[in-house]
Chain A
Amino acid sequence: MKIHKYDTVIVGAGGAGMRAAIESTKRSRTAVLTKLYPTRSHTGAAQGGMAAALANVEEDNWEWHTFDTIKGGDYLVDQDAAEILAKEAIDSVLDLEKMGLPFNRTPDGTIDQRRFGGHSRNHGEAPVRRSCYASDRTGHMILQTLYQNCVKEGVEFFNEFYVLDLLLQDVDGVKKSAGVVAYELATGEIHVFQAKSIIFASGGTGKFFKVTSNAHTLTGDGQAAAYRRGLPLEDMEFFQFHPTGIWRMGILLTEGARGEGGILRNKDGERFMEKYAPVMKDLASRDVVSRSIYTEIREGRGCGPDGDHVYLDLTHLPPEQLDAKLPDITEFARTYLGIEPYTDPIPIQPTAHYAMGGIPTNVEGEVLADNTTVVPGLYAAGEVACVSVHGANRLGTNSLLDINVFGRRAGIAAAEYSATAEFVELPENPAQQVIDQVERLRNSSGSERVTEIRKELQECMDANVMVFRTEQTIKTAVEKIGELRERYLNVSVQDKGKRFNTDLLEAIELGNLLDLAEVMAVSALARKESRGGHYREDFPNRDDVNFMRHTMAYREVGADGAESIRLDYKPVVQTRYQPMERKY
């Protein structure tokens, strides 16, 4: 076991982690621990753009953006945070341009902007061009630009270091962060990183679904580490299903395709979104579009031999426009489906995309131990966190924005904290829990296999807690997850070695997915209303009287060692926007 000491440690090297690192490296001795090489992070898969009311191509302002974000989140958004997001969006985009990001340009040479779901002019009048973009690989460009600037700033990376545990210490009755424990993939060695401040920026947890746009590596590692140490997880029942994933594969096809004029059609060729969202049509918010697609499918208007998908139709757009604005996604259709999007519509279905919930933080990125108490020295930003700027449903282009605005904020806040704080003493045997976990898995001769449990988990989640939910389906999921968690105790791996043991890594990841799936299902069961991405067929309406509040889920361990989940609730911060009926 090796012990390292840094002022600031950042866990994860996607957009949020690297944006934080650029700030904190200038101000404090910083290490970035990342499970993947930084440029492998899933920020790179984001396509359509980053929202900011630059008003480069038409009238726009950050107040409209704030409103759209709050409405998009079905009024579960903390409005003070949404104001910061929309206001700081403008500088965030300009900062990236100055760092070198090659945005598409207008004829004047300014940053070009395009339409995106849920972003509107003057509080819902019509779609507005707010998404700043670089072809259909904006996330790739952001990830590359941030990594390039990390190289410039000399950011210190520990690549393929997998953080498995968060060390918290009680100091005079206050819970403080002391460090993290990481597993080095290349050697199997355990490392303890003592740090004055820690930022979790480890991304999402979409791999508990089967059809998902998420990378294999998105397994909720940060959320699980915090949760197991008694910190709450906020709003985990809210998961976004992106309307246009490639049928059965789940690969993302950007909403920018509809922003450029693409249309969703059912088997009769009907532009069905006109029925569900007369004003915004195909550019309604993602939860609305995904539900509409499944309604078409359920009512027998789906496409294909089994009627289980619909079409994204780009055939009416000029090939030059597709080549210039949507080259990557049209290539995905050619590579993975063997079709030509100039002339064929693309078979699509909703795909599990984004966790609105996560580790609760305030607007400075400080992690909360309950509804109000911060954990000094602990921060989170990006998809792992819940500020909450996305509420019950995130708008497209607001996540690339979130990682930049709150990544930057967390990086500055953490480094400033490190400048004056003292190291918190490490607990005795700081790595013991991780050593036990790793050795148990490595040495187990149990009969259960990772692949089988993971497959059953993913199928159960797709069947029961996806776009439509009922008490019955969620209860089925809770029961099944409980059974899988039991079986997981008896899981074994074939690779017993230390060197690049990805077999072991997958087993650890599965443990995280199981814990988080259970939190999600239990949180969803208790929310007896429909709001944003959480749709209960047995409670189809939003219930502001009883449920305009954030869910806070805590892991409890009884005297007998039995685990359970305790749910609490946190009020939503409202500033100037009263909840209204949500129509697009």
Chain B
Amino acid sequence: MSTPTLDKHSAALDAAEDGAAHLVTVTFRIRRFNPEVSEDASWEDFQLEIDPKERVLDALHKIKWEQDGTLTFRRSCAHGICGSDAMRINGRNRLACKTLIKDINPEKPITVEAIKGLTVMKDLVVDMEPFFQAYRDVMPFLITTGNEPTRERRQSAEDRERFDDTTKCILCAACTSSCPVFWNDGQYFGPAAIVNAHRFIFDSRDEGGEQRLEILNDKDGVWRCRTTFNCTDACPRGIEVTKAIQEVKRALITRRF
């Protein structure tokens, strides 16, 4: 039994199966900050040889493991699921583990700095507490009344699809920390919290929509959004963040969701 695809390889598959390393020299320009050493942040350049098919996270590891053990960043799963390693790469919020070096022009120095709007603790590590506090404030859990059914609650495939996009959120903060409103005013809930409110407001099983909408009707709520679409561009999960925020705004006006 054979398939047409196996008889003739695409160029992409041939490239993917090329196991040889094709090293290039890349400069990483990293924003360093360690208050144990100095009150001031500064840029530091690192040069390394690396295969452009590798991830920015691989490059950071190479620097940390082979050149400077003090370089500090968060990471865990290394394939875009845990949300630990959001950072500003060439001026844009991305996950280091989901960004391949070849995709960001390795011919020029690649800049890496901490995400904006949250306090930098050391190098690329920021204080995530305000971010998670905004998340907790929108009551991100199913709210129901009455007796629980014996079996599962029923939900049609269409109703389930209604909020599918916003269930993908991994709380990496790439969206919130790309938002100019959040940079200027840390009190703003920020896109990620609104995305997680959306996930429940539009879940047909949930009965807490009104309460969440009231929270987001606050002066630091959805009305602060200026629709710059930075959040949608930044989301490594491809969530249409701005659209979700717009849907929450519309629900506030129509009280229908």
Cβ of B78 and Cβ of A94 under 8 Å apart? no
A94 to B1 CA separation, bound complex (whole angstroms)? 42
Segment among A57-65, A381-389, A499-507 that sits at the interface with chain B: A499-507
Cβ of B3 and Cβ of A39 under 8 Å apart? no
Given A100-B141, A339-B16, A340-B12, answer yes or no on A105-B76 (Cβ-Cβ < 8 Å).
no
CB within 8 A of A102: which of B6, B77, B160?
Answer: B160
Cβ of B16 and Cβ of A338 under 8 Å apart? yes
CB within 8 A of A98: which of B78, B153, B169, B206?
Answer: B153
A337 to B53 CA separation, bound complex (whole angstroms)? 8
Flag B117-155 by CB within 8 Å of A: 1 or 0 each: 000011101001000100010011110000011011111
A309-340 CB contacts (< 8 Å) to partner B: 309, 311, 313, 315-316, 328, 332, 335-340
Chain A contacts for B164, CB-based, 8 A: 102, 135
A109 to B153 CA separation, bound complex (whole angstroms)? 8
The answer, yes or no, to whether A305 is at the interface (CB within 8 Å) is yes
The answer, yes or no, to whether A432 is at the interface (CB within 8 Å) is no
The answer, yes or no, to whether B205 is at the interface (CB within 8 Å) is yes
The answer, yes or no, to whether A451 is at the interface (CB within 8 Å) is yes
Cβ of B76 and Cβ of A216 under 8 Å apart? yes
Given A100-B141, A110-B152, A344-B13, answer yes or no on A305-B1 (Cβ-Cβ < 8 Å).
no
Minimum C-beta distance from A528 to chain B (A): 36
Chain B contacts for A303, CB-based, 8 A: 17
CB within 8 A of A315: which of B5, B17, B160?
Answer: B5
Cβ of B82 and Cβ of A39 under 8 Å apart? yes
Minimum CB distance partner of B69 in chain A: A494
Chain B contacts for A345, CB-based, 8 A: 3, 5-6, 13
Segment among A72-80, A146-154, A370-378 that sits at the interface with chain B: A146-154
A404 to B58 CA separation, bound complex (whole angstroms)? 33
The answer, yes or no, to whether A479 is at the interface (CB within 8 Å) is no
The answer, yes or no, to whether A108 is at the interface (CB within 8 Å) is yes
A345 to B123 CA separation, bound complex (whole angstroms)? 40
Chain A contacts for B15, CB-based, 8 A: 338
- The binding surface of chain A is classed by DSSP as loop
Chain A contacts for B156, CB-based, 8 A: 105, 109
A222 to B140 CA separation, bound complex (whole angstroms)? 30
A323-372 CB contacts (< 8 Å) to partner B: 328, 332, 335-340, 343-345, 347
A105 to B152 CA separation, bound complex (whole angstroms)? 11
CB within 8 A of A344: which of B10, B73, B125, B128?
Answer: B10
Minimum CB distance partner of B13 in chain A: A344
The answer, yes or no, to whether B168 is at the interface (CB within 8 Å) is yes
Minimum C-beta distance from A450 to chain B (A): 8
Cβ of A42 and Cβ of B152 under 8 Å apart? no
Chain B contacts for A99, CB-based, 8 A: 141-142
Cβ of A151 and Cβ of B72 under 8 Å apart? no
Segment among B60-68, B223-231, B240-248 that sits at the interface with chain A: B60-68
- The binding surface of chain B is classed by DSSP as loop
Chain B contacts for A210, CB-based, 8 A: none
Cβ of A269 and Cβ of B141 under 8 Å apart? no
Chain B contacts for A336, CB-based, 8 A: 79, 100
A355 to B21 CA separation, bound complex (whole angstroms)? 31
Chain A contacts for B100, CB-based, 8 A: 335-336
Cβ of A313 and Cβ of B3 under 8 Å apart? yes
The answer, yes or no, to whether B221 is at the interface (CB within 8 Å) is no
The answer, yes or no, to whether B39 is at the interface (CB within 8 Å) is no
Cβ of A339 and Cβ of B12 under 8 Å apart? yes
Cβ of B75 and Cβ of A216 under 8 Å apart? yes
CB within 8 A of A269: which of B3, B125, B151?
Answer: B3
The answer, yes or no, to whether A84 is at the interface (CB within 8 Å) is no
Minimum C-beta distance from B85 to chain A (A): 10
Cβ of A148 and Cβ of B141 under 8 Å apart? yes
Minimum C-beta distance from B130 to chain A (A): 13
Given A102-B203, A105-B156, A217-B76, answer yes or no on A45-B83 (Cβ-Cβ < 8 Å).
no
CB within 8 A of B34: which of A271, A335, A497?
Answer: A497
CB within 8 A of A503: which of B70, B136, B154?
Answer: B70
Cβ of B10 and Cβ of A343 under 8 Å apart? yes
The answer, yes or no, to whether B40 is at the interface (CB within 8 Å) is no
Minimum C-beta distance from A497 to chain B (A): 5
Minimum C-beta distance from B127 to chain A (A): 9
Cβ of B154 and Cβ of A451 under 8 Å apart? no
Minimum C-beta distance from A77 to chain B (A): 28
The answer, yes or no, to whether B157 is at the interface (CB within 8 Å) is yes
Cβ of B69 and Cβ of A42 under 8 Å apart? no
Minimum C-beta distance from B61 to chain A (A): 8
B35-86 CB contacts (< 8 Å) to partner A: 35-37, 53, 64-66, 68-70, 72-84
Minimum C-beta distance from B88 to chain A (A): 18
The answer, yes or no, to whether A41 is at the interface (CB within 8 Å) is yes
Q: What 6 A-B pairs are tightest by C-beta distance, nearest first?
A: A100-B142, A494-B69, A269-B2, A109-B154, A451-B65, A503-B69
Task: Give chain B's interface residues, CB within 8 Å of chain A.
Answer: 1-3, 5-7, 9-10, 12-13, 15-19, 34-37, 53, 64-66, 68-70, 72-84, 98, 100, 121-123, 125, 128, 132, 136, 139-142, 148-149, 151-157, 160, 163-164, 167-171, 200, 203, 205-206
Task: Give chain A's interface residues, CB within 8 Å of chain B.
Answer: 36-37, 39-42, 44-45, 93-94, 97-100, 102-111, 134-135, 137, 140-141, 144, 148-149, 151-152, 186, 215-217, 247-249, 251, 265, 268-271, 303-306, 308-309, 311, 313, 315-316, 328, 332, 335-340, 343-345, 347, 449-451, 493-495, 497-503
- A–B Cβ pairs within 8 angstroms, 15 of them: A39-B171, A100-B206, A104-B160, A186-B121, A269-B3, A308-B19, A338-B16, A340-B12, A347-B17, A493-B69, A498-B36, A500-B72, A502-B73, A503-B69, A503-B72
